[in-house]
Amino acid sequence: MHAIASDHIPERLFPVIDALCATGIGVAGIIARGPLGQSLHHGVGENTGGDQQKALDVIADEAFEQALGPAGVRYYASEEQEGVLTLGEGPFALAIDPLDGSSNIDVNVSIGTIFSVFEAKDGAEESFLRPASEQIAAGYIIYGPQTGLAVTFGQGTLMFVLDPETQVFELAEEAMAIPEAAKEYSINAGYRRHWPGWVKSFVEECEAGVEGPRGRDYSFRWVASLVAETHRILTRGGTFLYAGDARPAYAKGRLRMVYEVAPMAMLIEQAGGLATDGKTPILELTAESLHGKAPFVFGCRDEVTRVAELHG
Determine the Cα–Cα distance for residues 179 and 273; give it in Å rounded to an integer: 8
Residue among 226 and 275 whose Cβ is closer to ligand AFP: 226
> Of the ranges 68-76, 118-126, 154-162, 219-227, which one interacts with ligand AFP (CB under 6 A)?
219-227
Answer yes or no: are the C-beta atoms of 65 and 13 closer than 8 Å. no
Residue among 51 and 207 whose Cβ is closer to ligand AFP: 51
The one among 226, 271, 290, 297 contacting ligand AFP by CB under 6 A: 226
Q: Does 47 contact ligand AFP by CB under 6 A?
A: no
Relative to beta strand 43-46, strand 52-54 is: antiparallel
Cα angle, residue 94 at apex, residues 231 and 7 outer, rounded to 5° = 65
Return all residues near 255 (Cβ < 8 A) that are at least 6 apart.
Answer: 226, 242, 261, 293, 294, 296
Determine the Cα–Cα distance for residues 217 and 211; give it in Å rounded to an integer: 8
The one among 48, 81, 103, 201 contacting ligand AFP by CB under 6 A: 103
Residue among 104 and 147 whose Cβ is closer to ligand AFP: 104
The one among 102, 113, 270, 276 contacting ligand AFP by CB under 6 A: 102
Answer yes or no: are the C-beta atoms of 241 and 185 closer than 8 Å. yes
- Nearest Cα to Cα of residue 287 among 85, 93, 10, 88: 93
Determine the Cα–Cα distance for residues 311 and 241; give it in Å rounded to an integer: 12
The one among 188, 208, 212, 302 contacting ligand AFP by CB under 6 A: 188
Residue among 153 and 202 whose Cβ is closer to ligand AFP: 202
The one among 78, 225, 239, 270 contacting ligand AFP by CB under 6 A: 225
- Residues numbered 50 to 89 that lie near ligand AFP (CB under 6 A) are 51
Question: Binding residues for ligand AFP, per CB under 6 A?
Answer: 51, 100-103, 188, 224-226, 254-255
